[in-house]
Amino acid sequence: MHGFIGEFFGTMVLILLGAGCCAGNSLNKTYGKQSGWWFICISWGLAVTMGVYVAGFLGSLGHLNPAVTIPFAIFGLFPWSNVISYLLGQFLGAFVGAVLVIIQFYPQFKATPNEEEGNNVGIFATRPAINSPIFNFFSEVIATFAFIFILLNLGNFTQGLKPFIVGMVIAVVGTCLGTTTGFALNPARDWSPRLAYTILPIPNKGVSEWWYAWVPMCGPIVGGLLACTLQTALV
């Protein structure tokens, strides 16, 4: 299970901080209510930075994302023998991170009586600004392509200040490309928290919108594959 511990705790930190910022922005009775898109993008960027630092210190390569692990393995940039342990760590860590957010904000979930006031799946998972499945898919492909292509040119991104660069990339992708779908970029970041929202007893929760979940699962994987294809062709 090489890398499992690093990916588990790194992804847990990513979701704890990232979904935590969304909860603070959306739910009633928080000091962060309606802080806005910049708040969300910068917070998610820093959440990725902290997750990568934790994962790297605990012995993984800081992928935190199946859209990194799977394309990297397909293109020979990462050993297939480690793929399962990385994916398990990512999906399980994301679920546990979501559980911690539910505990942290439980009184605020109780104070937010319906979806219209902010108690919705968007705290934990992505939702399209306009429901247009094909273009939503393209949005995730393009945004993830940009992220992974830049990532491929950073080298070892767990060392020194590079995790902060990765966080800046996430933030700028969010501000520039993420306003259409909420920029999942990461199947584990979307599916595991969405599952936690679905099955756990959250007060006043709305629908989990699983009809949309194929977009943040498939779009990032395709975007990652395209980025690796281009990088391989160029170098």
The secondary structure of residue 77, as a DSSP letter, is: S
Q: Are 16 and 97 in contact (CB under 8 A)?
A: yes
**The two three-digit tokens of residue 24, written as one number:** 């603070």
Run of H or E residues at 135: helix 133-152
pTM for this predicted structure:
0.96
Specify the pLDDT at position 72: 98
Range of the domain at 83: 4-234
The CATH number of the domain holding residue 203 is 1.20.1080.10
Query: Taking each helix axis from N to C terminus, what angle separates 187-199 and 4-26, rounded to the nearest 10 degrees?
Result: 60
Determine the Cα angle at 48 with ends 60 and 152, to 5°: 65
Cα 92 from chain centroid? 13
Residue 159, token pair as written in the block: 């060392």
Give dist(CA 90, CA 128) in Å, integer: 23
Choose among 60, 68, 53, 42: nearest CA to 13. Answer: 53
Per-residue pLDDT of the chain in tens (235 residues, 90 and over written 9): 679 999 999 999 999 999 999 999 999 999 999 999 999 999 999 999 999 999 999 999 999 999 999 999 999 999 999 999 999 999 999 999 999 999 999 999 999 999 999 999 999 999 999 999 999 999 999 999 999 999 999 988 888 999 999 999 999 999 999 999 999 999 999 999 999 999 999 999 999 999 999 999 999 999 999 999 999 999 8
Total domains, the chain? 1
DSSP symbol at 121:
G
List the structure tokens of 193.
């928290």
